[in-house]
Amino acid sequence: MEHAPYHYDVTARAIALIDKRAGIPMPLDELAHALGMSASHVQRVFTTWVGVSPKRYQQFLALDHARDLLRRNFTTLDTAADVGLSGSSRLHDLFVRWEAMTPGEFARRGEGLSIYWGWFDSPFGKVLSMATDRGLCGLAFAAESGPDSAMADLTSRWPAATYIEAADRISGWTMAALQGTGEARLLMIGTPLQIQVWEALLRIPSGHVTTYSEIAKSIGRDKAVRAVGTAVGRNPVSLLIPCHRALRKSGALGGYHWGLPVKRTLLAWESAREHQVGHQRNIA
């Protein structure tokens, strides 16, 4: 992964340019010209990190893609436990081991915790990662909010903690989450309801989606859809706890704490990767 930061930057810029077209196709030559690169180079880098060509990716980014996912890849959470991140439909070879803070630890607002942080490149722009010695506790996309806002957002959740800049210390777990390979440890810091909701999100396979009402039903809170939606939105660990896979019943994207363009991009990216993996399986 020696050239990962450069490749991520090219991919992030390409995705942003495609997304701005709002569904109007962007030919490869036009995309390459906008990036100041050759078409063959853009095609190679983009395909390496997204899994499909820019042209194919744009089909997954279509505005009605979320509705298509609900029709084709809807997940009922009470049957999804065996096909989540630890099952056959996970994205590539990512294994997540997680634990949750006790209510007492949460109530102390991070007091006594050392939280290490650093900035990382991803196909979705800069990512702020935070972790304790027990696992990742924050992954914030800064493309929409900006780096200062992302930092303020995460640090405000555990105001009594000690924050230490140490990207090298947490890079292993972070890159496993961003690349979908290896093992990532996760520490959930939230209220009992939030942790219930986040556990449910972990059961949604990559390339699949569910609804806020389905999440509420799966944790025995059928009539608390609004509270469940709020808990989904308070998830501090983007991508790894996949709140972007929660949609409204209508197929509308709903909210996303890190910005709706990022949510739409994540769904398209995962669908593209899953399509590619499925294609390779069929060939084999």
* CATH no. for 69-276: 1.10.10.10
| pLDDT string in tens for the chain (284-residue length) | 344 556 777 887 888 888 787 678 899 999 999 999 999 999 988 887 777 788 888 877 765 666 777 777 777 675 544 444 443 334 445 788 889 988 888 889 999 999 999 999 887 889 999 999 999 999 999 988 899 999 999 999 999 999 999 999 999 999 999 887 888 999 999 999 999 999 999 888 877 888 999 999 999 998 899 999 999 999 999 999 999 999 888 777 777 898 888 888 888 888 877 766 555 545 54
pLDDT at res. 278: 54
pLDDT at res. 39: 94
- Amino acid code (one letter) for 102: T
Question: For tokens 């962007």, what's the residue?
Answer: 26
* CB neighbourhood size of 54 (10 A): 23
Please check whether residue 262 is in contact with residue 143, taking contact to mean a CB–CB distance below 8 angstroms: yes
Q: Give the pairing type, strands 162-165 and 114-120.
A: parallel
**50 φ, ψ to 5°?**
-100, -30
Residue 165 contacts by C-beta under 8 Å, 6 or more apart in sequence? 116, 117, 118
Token pair listed for 238: 């983007």
Alpha helices in 51-191 (DSSP H): 54-60, 65-72, 103-107, 147-157, 167-179
Of 154, 184, 232, 243, the active-site residue reads 243
Q: Is 243 a catalytic residue?
A: yes
Q: Do domains 4-62 and 69-276 have the same CATH topology?
A: yes
Looking at domain 4-62, its CATH superfamily turns out to be Homeodomain-like (1.10.10.60)
Domain boundaries, the chain: 4-62, 69-276
Token pair listed for 230: 């709020």
**Element at 115 (helix H, strand E):** strand 114-120
Picking from 50, 190, 71, the residue whose alpha carbon sits closest to that of residue 122 is: 50
Q: How large is the C-alpha radius of gyration of the chain? A: 18
pLDDT at res. 13: 85
